[in-house]
Every structure is written in C-alpha cells, then in structure tokens.
Amino acid sequence: MALPYFGLDIGNHSIKAIRLDSTDINTRLVGYAYGSTPAGVLTVQDDESFKRLAKAIKDILNSSNLASVKQVIFAVPESHVIRQLMHLPYMNDEELENAVIFEMKKWINAPIEQMRIDKVVIGEKIVDNQRIIDVLGVAVRIDYLDRYVELLSSIGLEPIAAETEGIATVRAIYPQATDLTSTYLIVDVGSQSTDVSVAFKDKLLYSDSIPYGSDSVTKAISQTFSLDLIKAEAYKKTYGMIRGNFGGKLADVIEPVVDVILNDVRRSIDFFRTEYSEIPPQRIYLTGEASNMPGFLEYCKEKLMIDVVITNPWQNIEINSADAANLKKNSFAYTVAIGLARKSDVF
C-alpha cells in the first residue's frame, strides 16, 4: 500500500514532490512531480508572490499522478533553521524536553513562544563514567511554519508534518552510506544555497546553510563575459570548471565561487576531525542537480582531500522504466523530497 502522503520540497529554482510505497522488503516510487518555481516568489514574501507560488504548486501537482493525494510533509530550508548539537547528562524524556528548550534559548534571539523547538536524540555514550546523551536541538519560527501551512491549505492540501531539509537529506542518502563506520558529509548544492549536513549512521549531527549556490556561478559567468543568464547557464552546464576548456578562463571564474562553498565544507570537516576524533568524516556525498557541473567532483576531491562521490538519491528505490526515463533529466534534484517521502514516524 502506498503511503498516504507525499514529500514536498519547495526550492528557489524548482518544486519537487515524491510519493513512495514502502514495505519491509522494498521501497517503490508511486508518484512524483517536478516544475519550476516562479522567479523570486520565495524571496519577496508579499501576497502576490504567495498566490503565484500556491498556483505553481497546484498546477505542478495537478499535472502529475499526485493530484488526488492530500496529505503532505513539507521541508523547511536550512537557512530558516537554528540548530545546536548538545551533550547532556542522562535524564528522562520530560527532563530532556525541558533541558533542550533551556539550551536552545541561548541561541535564539526571539521570544521562545515564537519558536517551534524539536529534538533529535542521536545516542548515548559514557564519558568519565557519566552517561551522556547527544541531542540535536532544532528551532524554526512558528510564523514561518504557519505561512507554509496556510499556503498548502489554500490549495486543498493537508500538511501533516514539516521537517528540516538536513534531516530529510540524511534519510534519503543513508541507505547508500550503510557501509561507513564513521561520520560523513552530504553537500546539497541548490540554486541559491548549499546545505552541508554531517551525519553518523542515520542521524544528523550538524547542518549548515551557505548562502551561495549554483546561481552564483551563473551570475559570475554572465558578469565576467557579458553573457545573458541563459547563455551563462548553458556554459556552466556544458563546460563547467574543467580547466581544458577555453584555456581555463571559465574555470578561473567558477573556482572562486566554489571555493567559498568549499571553505565552509572544510570548516565542518575540521570541526568534526577535532571534536569527534573517534568518528572523523570518512566521505562526502555530493547531491543536488548542480553537483553535476563538469569538473566539480574532481575539484572537490583535489581541494578537500577526502573521498568524494556524487550520489543519486534513487538507489534502493524501485522505479518502472517509463518513470525512470522521465526522471533522468532532473534525478539529482529529488534528494530532499525523497527523504521526506521516506519519513515513517508521522502518525
């Protein structure tokens, strides 16, 4: 039986939706939708943008095989999330709930009543003969969540849960990382931001959102070579940062933008190498459509000096051949939507 809900990822560039049928034996794709996000609607938050976004989501779903499904789990972009990894002395569930709120207050600039605070218990360990619980605290503004609930309700959907992109991403990628014995990073390159998640097994330990994505690369190409954005985008996708092209001139423009992203990734690697030296980062999984830029994988390997792979989030999901052909073009874009669709603890 297909799950009664679908996962919805509303990105700055594209809207992605996935519905799965999940049993103990296998996971099968039963529905999906993809379409462009109208330009600027997520950054300009006025009523007009709200309506245009609602209409775009409705149209995309109506022209897919998800039109009759009402229940939805949506993603909260990492840029709207405050999160903090904590190591607390062992306590019962109720005490832990309060302790997480108490700790999170230190990191939040708004009145606590305006925030929705959640926790992900990562695990327990013994330190100096003391039982310690590792917990990730996660906070999102309630009015931000309310706005999405209103948006989705306005087109007849029933939001049943929301989850941060980082948590969804780890759930989507973990089936491919089961061989690892240490931590790993997932770098999801989007259009306007790049999200970095650090995970151990199936648990998110840390996440960060870098306000640079693949559109920054397009803009840099466009400005340097006086090309319109469509041409600049085509150059990016076709030639990317391979040094052999155009005497390295295109690579010269792209590398500084990518370096900003990789500097941040390196900081996360260094932090976990030092603070979690018993489980240092073992591999990086690149995902998001933009990670397919020619030369990007090789550049990451060279700069970060760690095992890096490009990962397609569809491994371990059965897809019929017609859907597989349709999905081919944007298959890397679905990571967050797949992670949401795989969420099983919603009721």
Ligand X SMILES: Nc1ncnc2c1ncn2[C@@H]1O[C@H](COP(=O)(O)OP(=O)(O)OP(=O)(O)O)[C@@H](O)[C@H]1O
Residues engaged in binding ligand X (CB under 6 A): 11-14, 190-193, 213-215, 218, 233, 236-237, 288-290, 292-293, 333
- 71 HSE (CA, 13 A, CB side): 13
Tokens of 300: 């990451």
Closest CB to Mg ion among residues 134, 195: 195
The answer to the question of residue 213 lying near Mg ion (CB under 5 A) is no
CB of 9 to Mg ion, least distance (A): 6
Instruction: Mention every residue, 6+ apart, whose C-beta is less than 8 A from residue 309.
Output: 283, 284, 285, 286, 297
Residue 12 binds which of ligand X, Mg ion, none (CB < 5-8 A, kind-dependent): ligand X
Residue 237 binds which of ligand X, Mg ion, none (CB < 5-8 A, kind-dependent): ligand X
- Is residue 207 within 8 A of residue 196, CB to CB? The reply is yes
Cα–Cα dist 312/157, whole Å? 29
Closest CB to Mg ion among residues 192, 268: 192
Residue at shortest CB range from ligand X: 11
Residue 192 binds which of Mg ion, ligand X, none (CB < 5-8 A, kind-dependent): ligand X
Amino acid, single-letter form, for residue 91? M
CB of 102 to ligand X, least distance (A): 32
Residue 215 binds which of Mg ion, ligand X, none (CB < 5-8 A, kind-dependent): ligand X
Residue 193 binds which of Mg ion, ligand X, none (CB < 5-8 A, kind-dependent): ligand X
The answer to the question of residue 339 lying near Mg ion (CB under 5 A) is no
CB of 293 to ligand X, least distance (A): 4
CB of 140 to Mg ion, least distance (A): 17
Q: How far is CA 101 from the centre of its chain?
A: 24
- Is residue 189 within 8 A of residue 217, CB to CB? The reply is no
CB of 13 to Mg ion, least distance (A): 7
CB of 54 to ligand X, least distance (A): 17
Closest CB to ligand X among residues 208, 233: 233
Tokens of 241: 């940062």
Query: From start to end of the chain, where are the E strands?
Result: 5-10, 14-22, 27-36, 71-76, 82-89, 115-127, 130-141, 158-164, 184-189, 194-200, 203-210, 283-287, 307-310
Tokens of 131: 């039982």
Closest CB to ligand X among residues 190, 339: 190
The answer to the question of residue 190 lying near Mg ion (CB under 5 A) is yes
Residues paired with residue 208 on neighbouring β-strands, in sequence order? 196
Which stretches of the chain bind Mg ion, using CB under 5 A?
11, 190
